[in-house]
Chains A and B, each alone.
Chain A
Amino acid sequence: DAMVIQNPRYQVTQFGKPVTLSCSQTLNHNVMYWYQQKSSQAPKLLFHYYDKDFNNEADTPDNFQSRRPNTSFCFLDIRSPGLGDAAMYLCATSLGAGANVLTFGAGSRLTVL
């Protein structure tokens, strides 16, 4: 049973054309994260939501934004994708303050042409 579902699994976009990636979860976890994983690199946290509170990492480019309309869904918007934004984007969730175990989705692989 998939508990953190990411769509689409593969996304191809053109340079500068906005793209939205989605994440849904059936775990009722209150914390949701977006990580960026470039080829042969470690995943890197972009931002996270603690309930409705948005927390941006200091080095996350302004080109990346996120929305969380309800507990179950979270979106990653890339306003003007560049070639350097091609990566796997991982959504993860966790439960409660101090939670240290994250549940990951299968990822969305973004290709920028």
Chain B
Amino acid sequence: AQTVTQSQPEMSVQEAETVTLSCTYDTSESNYYLFWYKQPPSRQMILVIRQEAYKQQNATENRFSVNFQKAAKSFSLKISDSQLGDTAMYFCAFMGFYNQGGKLIFGQGTELSVKP
């Protein structure tokens, strides 16, 4: 069974600085998808970034980038130039390549606070 582990329950960062959120996962599959989702307080969960395991190049979306280390089963999220609006719970998630009913397996989450 797949598992996702986020070892940092809470983190804080000063506005405009860079922060890295850690995620490790366990799977026996060779092809899969990895995601970072953001859940602001009392608001809907939204996709931040997605990585296909068969792609070696790390995904990037504006200020958000990942460091995908397939052999180490590590998938960290780097937020550059942190903004107050980045304050949220961040979930790392795994999905098998063959979708398996769209089942996302989430980590426990990291609560990020961006301080002015």
Q: Are A106 and B43 in contact (CB under 8 A)?
A: yes
Q: Which of chain A's residues have a CB closer than 8 A to the CB of B50?
A: 100-101
Contact with B along A26-41 (1 / 0, CB 8 A): 0000010101000011
A interface, how many residues as a size bin?
20 to 34
A90 at the interface (CB under 8 A from B): yes
Give CA–CA (A99, B9) in the complex, Å.
29
Residues from chain A with a CB closer than 8 A to the CB of B109 are 40, 42
Q: Provide the main secondary structure of the chain B interface.
A: loop
* In the bound complex, CA of A65 to CA of B42 (Å): 25
- Across the interface, A106 reaches (CB within 8 A) one of B44, B91, B101, B102, namely B44
Cross-chain pair count, CB within 8 angstroms: 57
**Alpha-carbon distance A104/B95, docked complex (angstroms):** 16
CA distance A106 to B46 in the complex (A): 10
B contacts, CB < 8 Å to A: 4, 9, 33, 37, 42-47, 50, 91, 95, 98-99, 101-109
Interface, chain A (partner B; CB < 8 A) = 4, 31, 33, 35, 40-45, 48, 50, 55, 57, 90, 92, 94, 97-102, 104-107
